[in-house]
Structure 1
């Protein structure tokens, strides 16, 4: 199997889950044998780190970009105690790559060296229906092409350099002009929009099950739109949390796996299984 395909398969939530729960090491072993010169006594963590280093030079895929954003922005500038990251969020018919929610919601649309830019303008316009700050994350060779595909001057441009650092080419500017109630409401889960309505109106509507969603949406539209966005952001911020009891274990997770573990919502047993795997030798279980 092509090494790039293997890299894409290895760094996924499901792949890591299979390794830890089903003891299925097939993808990990295939990838390792294609990339790493394995010596006796090497831990699985050392092998994984070598694979990730190879990827950073030869195959900077979407996971590499997302994990870099997670490490350098959420962990480097904020904290898992105060800030939430969300990936692959459906917004107005598009899938938002990466979102960081603190006081505001910062959108990060990723365009790797492996992507094309045809849909970029439409994607950004869609994200402005729910969020006020949008950024495009690209590479050094595609800066001019990226900027030529986006007409909005409010969009931030961030470059993942060849040294794998993040360089802000252009800061994002707040833009509320595209906000739409429907886009925001559809992002919310039932218990989330119910919590918003109870907070704002003090009650939920009385309606049968067939009309309930529509009636709730009609109530939501009565909230001033930037306030409605603020309520939505508060709900999104609750979606992924590292509890105080988990912070110590999460801090020990290798940089290469930080975002995978975060989005897997690990419990104590999961962290134990991960450590067991990482520090075994000879590609053992």
Structure 2
């Protein structure tokens, strides 16, 4: 298994939870030992994670590295988890939106790493504009010029992930509402979310059979002005955040290297305690 594959397998939500419960997890220990080589140079598990992440930042900037940078620099740096929400991997038509950050508006961040190609980019953006009014493409120098040419004269923003790990806005996103579509917006919502919207706007839910309920709800939903339904949708999506006043302090202490892994998990108080214990314990993994 290559170093890149090991890193990809290690930095996932489920993998981190498995590693915390079993620090001798084979994926974890093999990744750390492969990247660092000399086990004596690693002190705690936090030290091990930091060194693997540093290696990733210089040698293998995968999709996780991009998402984690966006979470740290925009959600946490520019905004706050108290007032904003990030959502990852949101299905829209036949596409999976990489990252959405809601702070008043909904900003889409479509990631194109140096490991990706651009073949589907136009189709992806076309789908995202059916739900959201602001879209950005996040990339590095590998694709920057090609993306600039592709998106010239469009409302789509372009953000460069620099070699230093900073985000530089090459082109600011502009509001674009021409493709907004109530059916696509409706399909993004969970059942309780579109029920909340219909109840708030019309004061009732349809009284029909279970087999006809979904279509009956959409028949009511589609009567709304599309900008109004989008506003309702953003409010519902914003409520999907797992970070609240009860766990904000614990989340705030999570190291930057794994911030997005924890953000996109529903950690209990016990899980936060286990995470802190794991990070502070001495690394003794054996590949």
Match of 1:14 in 2: 14
Q: Is the deviation greater in 19-28 or in 124-133?
A: 19-28
Compute the displacement of 1:283 (Å): 2.5
* Kept after mapping to 2: 8 A contact 1:240/1:265: no
Change in CA separation of 1:73 and 1:245 when aligned onto 2, cut-off 3 Å: same
* Kept after mapping to 2: 8 A contact 1:80/1:241: no
- Give the TM-score normalised by structure 1: 0.97
Compute the displacement of 1:144 (Å): 1.0
1:123 matches 2:118? no
Compute the displacement of 1:22 (Å): 5.1
* Kept after mapping to 1: 8 A contact 2:159/2:171: yes
Match of 1:96 in 2: 97
Cα distance between partner residues in 1 of 2:212 and 2:23: 47
1:192-203 superposed matches below 5 A: 192-203=193-204
1:244-283 superposed matches below 5 A: 244-283=245-284
Cα distance between partner residues in 2 of 1:23 and 1:173: 46
Compute the displacement of 1:149 (Å): 3.1
Match of 2:5 in 1: 5
SS at match of 1:87: strand
Cα distance between partner residues in 2 of 1:234 and 1:152: 30
Deviations 1:111-151 (A, max 9, x none): 00100000000000000000000000000232111123336
Change in CA separation of 1:110 and 1:196 when aligned onto 2, cut-off 3 Å: same
Q: Is the deviation greater in 204-213 or in 24-33?
A: 24-33
Cα distance between partner residues in 1 of 2:242 and 2:92: 22
Deviations 1:184-204 (A, max 9, x none): 101000000000000000010
Q: Is the deviation greater in 143-152 or in 113-122?
A: 143-152
Match of 1:184 in 2: 185
Change in CA separation of 1:196 and 1:224 when aligned onto 2, cut-off 3 Å: same
SS at match of 2:264: helix
Runs of 4 or more, structure 1, over 6 Å off, are none
Cα distance between partner residues in 1 of 2:167 and 2:260: 17
1:18-37 superposed matches below 5 A: 18-21=18-21, 25-36=25-36, 37=38
Cα distance between partner residues in 1 of 2:234 and 2:76: 19
Change in CA separation of 1:189 and 1:22 when aligned onto 2, cut-off 3 Å: farther
Compute the displacement of 1:41 (Å): 6.7
Compute the displacement of 1:24 (Å): 5.6
Deviations 1:215-252 (A, max 9, x none): 10010001111000000000000001312121111111
Cα distance between partner residues in 1 of 2:113 and 2:77: 21
Match of 1:50 in 2: 51
SS at match of 1:136: strand
SS at match of 2:83: coil
How many residues align structurally? 285
SS at match of 2:39: coil
Query: What are the ranges of 5 or more consecutive residues in structure 1 without an aligned counterpart?
Result: none
* Kept after mapping to 2: 8 A contact 1:92/1:129: no
Root mean square deviation of aligned Cα: 1.4
* Kept after mapping to 1: 8 A contact 2:23/2:278: no
Cα distance between partner residues in 1 of 2:283 and 2:208: 61
Query: What are the ranges of 5 or more consecutive residues in structure 2 without an aligned counterpart?
Result: none
Match of 1:134 in 2: 135
